[in-house]
Chains A and B, each alone.
Chain A
Amino acid sequence: MTLCLPKLPTTLLTKPCGSSDAMVVRLGDIEFLPCLSGALYVPDYDTLLIADLHLEKGSSRAHLGQLLPPYDTRAGLLALQAAIARWEPATVMLLGDSFHDAKGPDRMATADRALLEQLASRADFIWLSGNHDPSLPAHMPGSMSVEIALGNVTLRHEPGTGAVNEIAGHLHPVAAITRRGRRVRTKCFVISPARIILPAFGAYTGGLDVRHEAFRPLLAGEAFRVIMVGNSALHALPGRAVL
Chain B
Amino acid sequence: MDTSVTHKSTARSGLPQIFADWFSGRGWQPRGHQLDMLATVSAGRSALLIAPTGGGKTLAGFLPSLIELAQGAAGNGLHTLYVSPLKALAVDITRNLESPIRDMGLDIRIEARTGDTPMHKRQRQKTNPPDILITTPEQVSLLIAQDGAEHYFASLRVVVLDELHSMAPTKRGCMLALALARLQRFAPDLKRIGLSATVASPDTLRAWLMPQDRDAEGVEHMAAFVQAPGGAEPDISIMRCDEEVRMPWSGHSSAYALPDIYEAVKSAGMALVFTNTRSQAERIFHELWTLNEDALPIALHHGSLDVSQRRKVEAAMAAGSLRAVVCTSTLDLGIDWGDVDLVINVGAPKGSSRILQRIGRANHRYEEPSRAVLVPSNRFEVLECEAARVAAFEGAQDGEGPAELKRDVLAQHIMGSAVAAPFDPDQLYAETVSAWPYRNLTRADFDQAVDFVSTGGYALRTYERFARLKQMPDGRMRLTHPRLAQTYRMNAGTIVEAEMLKVKLAGKRRSSAGKPLNKWGGKVLGEVEEWFVEQLRIGDTFLFAGQILRLEAVEELNALVSRSDATEPMIPSYQGGKFPLSTYLAGRVRAMLAEPASWHYLPEQVRDWLKVQQWKSVLPQPHQMLVETFPKANKHYLVCYPFDGRLAHQTLGMLLTRRLERAGLQPLGFVCNDYALSVWCVRDLSLAIETGRLSLAQLFDQDMLGDDLDAWLAESMLMKRTFRTCAIIAGLIERRWPGQEKSGRQMTVSADLIYDVLRTHQPDHWLLKAAWDDAASGLIDAKRLAMMLARIRGNIVHKALEQVSPLAVPVMLEIGREPVYGEAHDALLAEAADDLVDEAMRLV
Contacts and interface: CB of A to CB of B under 8 A. Distances in A.
Contacts of B758: 69, 71
B745 A206 contact: yes
B119 interface: no
Given A62-B466, A181-B818, A243-B538, A67 B831 contact: no
A75 B834 contact: no
Given A57-B749, A75-B760, A238-B839, A64 B829 contact: no
Given A223-B843, A230-B829, A235-B830, A59 B757 contact: no
Given A57-B749, A181-B818, A181-B819, A186 B761 contact: no
Interface in A221-237: 223, 225, 228, 230-233, 235-237
A223 B819 CA distance: 31
B825 interface: yes
Interface in A20-61: 25-26, 57-59, 61
A7 interface: no
B707 interface: no
B219 interface: no
Listed residue (A58, A65, A211) with the most chain B CB atoms within 10 angstroms of its CB: A65
A203 B818 contact: no
Contact of B535 (A183, A186, A228): A183
A162 B836 CA distance: 29
A96 B823 CA distance: 36
A86 to B, nearest CB: 19
Interface stretch (A136-144, A150-158, A163-171, A172-180): A172-180
A67 B415 CA distance: 14
Given A71-B757, A204-B757, A238 B840 contact: yes
A17 interface: no
A182 B827 CA distance: 12
B498 interface: no
B753 A235 contact: no
A65 B761 contact: no
A182 B671 CA distance: 12
Nearest to A202: B753
A213 B555 contact: yes
Contact of B466 (A26, A65, A186): A65
Nearest to B756: A203
A209 B553 CA distance: 12
B826 A64 contact: no
Contacts of A180: 819-820, 823, 828
A1 B458 CA distance: 41
A3 interface: yes
Contacts of A133: none
Nearest to A233: B826
B462 A109 contact: yes
Given A64-B483, A176-B534, A75 B761 contact: yes
Contacts of B732: 66-68
B295 interface: no
B833 interface: yes
Contacts of A69: 456, 458, 754, 757-758, 761-762, 765
Contacts of A231: 824-826
B156 to A, nearest CB: 31
B832 interface: yes
B825 A230 contact: yes
B553 to A, nearest CB: 7
27 contacts: A1-B833, A1-B834, A26-B844, A61-B747, A65-B466, A65-B468, A65-B734, A66-B732, A67-B455, A67-B458, A67-B463, A67-B732, A70-B463, A71-B762, A75-B761, A177-B832, A179-B829, A179-B831, A182-B823, A206-B745, A212-B554, A213-B553, A230-B825, A232-B824, A237-B836, A237-B840, A241-B832
Given A63-B466, A71-B762, 11 more contacts: A1-B834, A57-B749, A64-B487, A67-B466, A69-B765, A71-B460, A109-B462, A180-B823, A204-B749, A228-B833, A232-B824
The 8 closest A-B pairs by CB, nearest first: A181-B819, A67-B456, A71-B761, A62-B466, A179-B828, A230-B826, A235-B833, A235-B829
Interface of B: 455-456, 458, 460, 462-463, 466, 468, 481, 483-484, 487, 531, 534-535, 537-538, 553-555, 732-734, 737, 745, 747, 749-750, 753-754, 756-758, 760-762, 765, 817-820, 823-826, 828-834, 836-837, 839-841, 843-844
